[in-house]
Amino acid sequence: MKFRNMLRLFMPALLLVSTTTFAQTTKEEKKKAEYEQLKAILDARQYTFIAQTATSMGGRSRQLTSEYTVKIHGDSLEADLPYYGRAYSANPGDLDGGIRFQSTSFTYTVKDTKNGGWFITIIPEDKKKASKMDLSISQGGFGTLQVSSTNRQMISFYGNIRANSTKR
């Protein structure tokens, strides 16, 4: 009789522990699958950085309401970003104040970070609007992009990484 009472007392606790363990395993498997998918698109160079916030060197942050991106399509690079900050020189006839260009001539290096993310350096060789782009990506797909230029202050963008669609 005592055994049955003890069993009734501990049965709900055993069920609770087993359900919690199952939920944690599923969550870990989902995170691992997302990490593997992110790693695959980075290795294939088929991804897009979507900027959500821009921060100038003056420290002012702006939430971006339109979609601004940097797209990597294997051997091509396409940047469409706004610019907020100080320009050291002006180009006559340049009506586009943002960081907008396409390039197929750039160097691209990837380094793994200690925490499991990636640090990507992109150096466009034929564009003056960006002399260097450093993209730091976390395991969860969040990214920080710092764009340096020879005639402008550096600007930082915060956003997410997503896979490119199959259409181009």
Choice among 18-32, 81-95, 138-152 with the minimum mean pLDDT: 18-32
Q: What pTM did the predictor assign? A: 0.79
Task: Mention the CATH class of domain 45-163.
Answer: mainly beta
Delimit the domains of the chain by residue range.
Answer: 45-163
Measured distance CA(43)–CA(116) in Å, rounded: 14
Going by the DSSP 8-state scheme, the letter that residue 12 receives in this structure is H
Considering the chain, what is the average pLDDT of its residues? Answer: 83
pLDDT confidence tier of residue 22, bands split at 50, 70 and 90? low
pLDDT of residue 2: 61
Q: Is the pLDDT of residue 13 over 70?
A: no
Coil/strand/helix, residue 157: strand
pLDDT of residue 116: 87
Going by the DSSP 8-state scheme, the letter that residue 139 receives in this structure is T
pLDDT of residue 162: 93
- Amino acid letter for position 131: S
95-140 per-position pLDDT tens digit:
667 888 899 999 999 999 998 899 999 999 887 778 899 999 999 8
Taking residues 34-63, report their average pLDDT: 91
Q: Is the pLDDT of residue 153 over 70?
A: yes
